[in-house]
Structure 1
Amino acid sequence: MNRVGKNIHRYCTVFAAPTSPNSSLSAWHHHQPNPNRPNTRDTRSHLALRLAGNDLHPQREGMVEEANSILNLMIDKGVMPNIISYNSLLDGYCLRGQMDKVSKLMDLMVRKDCQPDVVSFNTMINGYCKAKNLDQAFHLFQEMSSKGVTPDVVTYNTLIDGLCKDGRLHQALHLFDEMEAQGLCPDVVSCASLLHGLCKNGKVNEAITRFTELERKGLIGNIVVYSILIDGMCEEGRLKDAANIFSKLLSKGLQPDCKIYTIMLKGLCKKGQLTQASQLLAKMEEHGFCPNEVTYNILVRGFLCNNDVTQALQLIDVMTGRGFSPDADNTSSLLDLLSNEQTEKSVKEWLQSSLEH
């Protein structure tokens, strides 16, 4: 690396210090061009990149505007920002939902002969999806081809997820099929988004059909995707189907985690199958998984709903001993028991003791 290259690298490292954007700004204002310092777009581009990047915290929101000011100053001085700088600023605005500024920045890019790339489009499409402006997201998607930019898996994933969350399942399914037709292989995010959308919109049968197809193609190899389908089945009361898939996880090389155990326990409790729920809880702990606060509260609620107060109180003893607390719903149920004249004296004494502690 020559001397100028080393200087550029050193300045960029200082300017891009992730923990000190204010220091970066001071450094940038201090280091005005002179014969001994590099006056290239790289130095300023990396500063704008750091200021507008993903690591900005809410309290640093003003840094995005500062980065935009620097970018405009670069242009005024005849130093053209590169695509990385523009993309970073686009991301900064998208993260804050400032889509009007995204549109203006996009226009500026084009006017300055910096054509948006796939990262630019993906960033903007994600921003519009988050802002629930799916029509504009699709407009950008269609614009990509006219600009000679090929959508990638991230592009499709973003749109599929946005469509599913908006309940536009037909379009999401069409886009998923189009992605495969274009020779792009769906990944875990693609599959999870589609199956989650189908299950949450009451189309569990279609989710199962899609799941089977994807599994046959070898595209389902992640515990998260199985969790989504099992959750959908449990929500519809299809415990046998859920248990069947759950029982095959180990044979597929997948280790059930706390989340998927909790999903199964919730399904069993909703059906009033508390004996099976207790057995699964024991199995969960045998396999080295500690129930979390959500797990315990689901079980406590199940026992309370089935008027098995004794078992519920025993579980509360266990969970509080492990540092967990009953949630608002369970606390409300316990207070109801305390004020109910038909509640046994021993139960009331236990509840009173617990409340005092």
Structure 2
Amino acid sequence: MKTIKTKTGIGKWLPRKYDLEKAEGTLQFADDLRFGSELLHAAVVRSSVAHGEILNVDDSEALKIPGVLKVLLGEDFPHHFGLYLKDRTPMAIGRARYVGEPVALVVAETEEAAAEAARKVKVTYSELEAIFDPVKAATNNSVLVHPDLHKYEHVDFITPQPNTNIANWFRIRKGDTEAAFKNSAHVFEETITCPQIAHGFIETFCTICKQDPGSGEITIWTSAQSPFTVRDIIAKGINYPLHKIRVIAPPIGGGFGGKAGMTVEALCLAAAMDEDIKGRPVKLFIPREEVMLSSWVRQGFVARIEMAVSDDGLMQGIRNTFWFDTGISAEYGANPVRSAGYTSMGAYNIPNVWADCYAVYTNKPFGGAYRGFGLPELMSALEVVVDIVAHKLKIDPV
């Protein structure tokens, strides 16, 4: 038999890209990039309240620190961003919606000066009632996290419900669930809960933005999983020509979904596009403490699963209600909710299905993708219920 030689490398040991640099410790991540003395640094002033009107921002003491150039507020960069739903501004405008939300951005010549100045900015709030329970937020409209939800742009397959806290509602109706539950030998109902979960990647967020004062071209260096998506979201958010935005993504130290879409890029860009700063690169590095407090998380959820089962253990029908805790933004998190919804039967052939999946606003950090895009949340809850049902019927869960 003739042996066919290929050039594909199949069957050979091939080093992955960057393996050598990682082993040597020479690989450059976003924070390792150097821009010389022209580089400016930004630091974030974050909300200390979960929900409140911003009455005053006093930056007088911050501006006295040597090297501080400017303190920017949300009103200075009032653009809305979002991949699926434009519900997020880089900084709070008029109202803070969660503990850790950016309310101001300090720009300085050094990282130390920026951090010190950020601590000197005094923000006065009038606290409002906050809501943290996604089921309560979905069923009680006395506290609205986004009163202007009806004004936000969104893609056509996302269905926000105005004057509620529901940013997306995905439904499935298959067969006759009412008859299935009425005629089945056994009906079970269980509720499974899971909190929001941080990604815990080793490299924290880091972004450097620069706008050329002549051509207006914007360059963004960022620790992002999806640079083309960042470019698209930025262009649409600021209504800017796509060909004038370049996004460069160095190797990243873990993401797991937490660096998909746009994270902190627009916040840094607010400084880089300021008329007094334009032309100089601005770096925004988010320290670990701030990442754990305020950044993208996997959505928490409350899952109520009802299952109709025959005597021999066959699933006849299922009713799922999933309330996903998407925090203060569903700009990316609206779609994992949809993914969970259209796989609401899990791995099983169930003839009668009734499913409602909601992306629910609460006064918490914003939720998005994390290792599976809505499916681990659905599958984990469903499999817990399947095991419970099997044990109650004295059937092997497998």
TM norm. shorter chain > 0.5: no
Alignment TM class, shorter chain as reference: under 0.3
The structure with the greater share of residues assigned to strand is 2
Q: Which structure: larger Rg?
A: 1
The structure with the greater share of residues assigned to helix is 1
**Structure showing greater relative contact order (alpha-carbon pairs closer than 8 Å, 6 or more residues apart):** 2
Taking structure 1 as the reference length, the TM-score comes to 0.21
Taking structure 2 as the reference length, the TM-score comes to 0.19
